Amino acid sequence: MRPPLNIVWLKKDLRLSDHAPFAAALQDQSAPFIALHCFEPSVQNSPSWDARHWWFTYHSLVDMRPRLAENGIALYHFHQELIPLLEQLQQCYCIQHIYSHEETGIGITYERDKALKVWCEEQHVQWTEFACNGVERGRKNRDQWSRNWAKTMKAPIIFPDWTQAQAFHLTDDVVQLLEQDQEELPIGVISLSAPFVPDPVYQTPGETVAKTILQSFIDKRHAKYFNNISKPLASRTYCSRLSAHLAYGNLSIRQAYQAAIKAGATKNKHLGEFASRLIWHCHFIQKFEMEDRMEFENQNSAFNGIRVKWDQKKFDAWKEGRTGYPLVDACMRCVKETGYLNFRMRAMVVSFLTHHLWLDWRKGAHYLAGMFLDFEPGIHYPQFQMQSGCTGANTIRIYNPVKQSYDKDPNAEFILQWVPELSILPPGLCHEPWKVSPMEQMMYNFQIGRDYPKPIVDLKSSQQKASAELHRVKKTLRAKQEATRIIARHVRSPKRRLKALG
């Protein structure tokens, strides 16, 4: 007879604390359980993911493993599709119950979840999913959403009762069987017993570090948060820098939110702004949960016919940081190298791609998803559509990268860090190098077009063209009907927003 087995299936909830699936599996004394993570090739091969994401996942698991082992729980990871793996496991054990968090993922993970549901029904395996960060499945509108969310955030942190753990390991034979169909492991993923080597540029993964980062923000860094949130350089120190940890679930939103409230977020402006962004985090994911086609389609279909012409050269220049606009180029080079940009700079590079270069958002969204270490589909796609002006329900914002440069990086420190070829110029000339006079070019031995690209687009005319076209579409009946639908579905008090729409 096959021995009974339960599974805690880990996805983007890579922590031990405030973890409902662990708590439930520990309470369920009908069978021992293992913790399981699958690096699924189908997800890895999708255009939104990059090796940096697997690196972060893997090292988050490395951080968990010894702490789970102390409690007698074995953690396994395999590089294989989930369902074939479960089928093999099912030959050796009688899987009774799978515990996991709900995931608001991309199309591929949604299809996998649907297939898993069918498989569980066929195999008489119970699958219990727990809501994640107050995001609710199956909603049709936002009635009561904020109230429910606040209730979830105020509820006590879950402390799984590890004393109930039943020590258990898969036998070596079974592990060998499961490993035989594994594909080659992704870059940087070697073995869970390999020592952790911090990366010099990426943020360090794992629950242990996440808690330290949260504490340092709550204790000290928050004091300069809101004054620096839009600056490309200072934001790297004074923003919380929790996004990757929240995306992989090294921390729950509740843990961050309760820490902010406890430290005085209701009275302190900076902590209050931080706490409100934690609400936005879940608000955007809820939006995507309720309208996941936003990964593929314009949320407002009236915008379907615009930006039809593709220009690969311009797209490549944007990707590689060769647009001739120093702040845009610095951002694109920086995100490629480090995986991080603050909100304003993300909005600006998307605005540059979609408004100034007038290129469709989809390829850009995939590219930046791969670059953002904190890629969170539920935030990324709705933000991308909002910034590219395709919702019809939000204000159209076209950022001027030159103005942003003078305002947010006045001494060009960030620019010079990432566009060092401009360092032969005095910092004051780095914002608009195409304006350097022939005399100055001679003095500094700098030639525009040779040492740094000429601007690939004229800002004024591209801004005017984009604005005119977006406002024209926004005023059409179809765009307004769609905006009305979007607002009714995703806004808490739609009446006020609809009035503003006119």
Ligand X SMILES: Cc1cc2nc3c(=O)[nH]c(=O)nc-3n(C[C@H](O)[C@H](O)[C@H](O)COP(=O)(O)OP(=O)(O)OC[C@H]3O[C@@H](n4cnc5c(N)ncnc54)[C@H](O)[C@@H]3O)c2cc1C
List residues binding ligand X (CB under 6 A). Answer: 229, 239-243, 246-247, 274, 277-278, 280-281, 284, 342-343, 346-347, 350, 372, 374-376, 379-380, 383-384, 387
Q: Which is nearer to ligand X, 105 or 160 (CB)?
A: 105
Q: Which is nearer to ligand X, 337 or 440 (CB)?
A: 337
Contacts (Cβ under 8 Å, ≥6 apart) of 68 = 16, 35, 74, 75
Q: Which is nearer to ligand X, 100 or 230 (CB)?
A: 230
Please report how close the Cβ of residue 447 comes to ligand X at its closest, in angstroms: 34
Please report how close the Cβ of residue 410 comes to ligand X at its closest, in angstroms: 21
Which is nearest to 131 in space by CA: 106, 115, 152? 152
Q: Which is nearer to ligand X, 159 or 280 (CB)?
A: 280
In whole angstroms, how far apart are CA 297 and each of 360, 385, 398, 430? 11, 9, 21, 38
Please report how close the Cβ of residue 132 comes to ligand X at its closest, in angstroms: 13
Please report how close the Cβ of residue 350 comes to ligand X at its closest, in angstroms: 5
Judge whether 159 and 26 are in contact, CB under 8 Å: no
Helix residue ranges per DSSP H, 124-195: 145-154, 172-180
Please report how close the Cβ of residue 14 comes to ligand X at its closest, in angstroms: 15
Q: Which is nearer to ligand X, 225 or 446 (CB)?
A: 225
Please report how close the Cβ of residue 72 comes to ligand X at its closest, in angstroms: 33
Q: Which is nearer to ligand X, 31 or 335 (CB)?
A: 335
* H or E stretch covering 6: strand 4-9
Q: Which is nearer to ligand X, 78 or 384 (CB)?
A: 384
Which is nearest to 105 in space by CA: 150, 19, 155, 40? 40
Judge whether 229 and 235 are in contact, CB under 8 Å: yes
Please report how close the Cβ of residue 495 comes to ligand X at its closest, in angstroms: 24
Judge whether 285 and 133 are in contact, CB under 8 Å: yes
Can you spell out the DSSP letters for 9-59? E-SS---SSS-HHHHHHHH-TTS-EEEEEE--HHHHTSTT--HHHHHHHHH
Can you spell out the DSSP letters for 75-101? EEEESS-HHHHHHHHHHHSEEEEEEEE
Distance separating alpha carbons of residues 264 and 269, to the nearest angstrom: 9
Judge whether 300 and 390 are in contact, CB under 8 Å: yes
Cβ neighbours of 220 (radius 10 Å): 10
Please report how close the Cβ of residue 376 comes to ligand X at its closest, in angstroms: 4
* Structure-block tokens of residue 497: 């927003």
Q: Which amino acid is at 383?
A: Q
Strands (E), 311-448: none
Please report how close the Cβ of residue 325 comes to ligand X at its closest, in angstroms: 17
* Structure-block tokens of residue 55: 């690196």
Q: Which is nearer to ligand X, 77 or 221 (CB)?
A: 221
Q: Which is nearer to ligand X, 297 or 421 (CB)?
A: 297
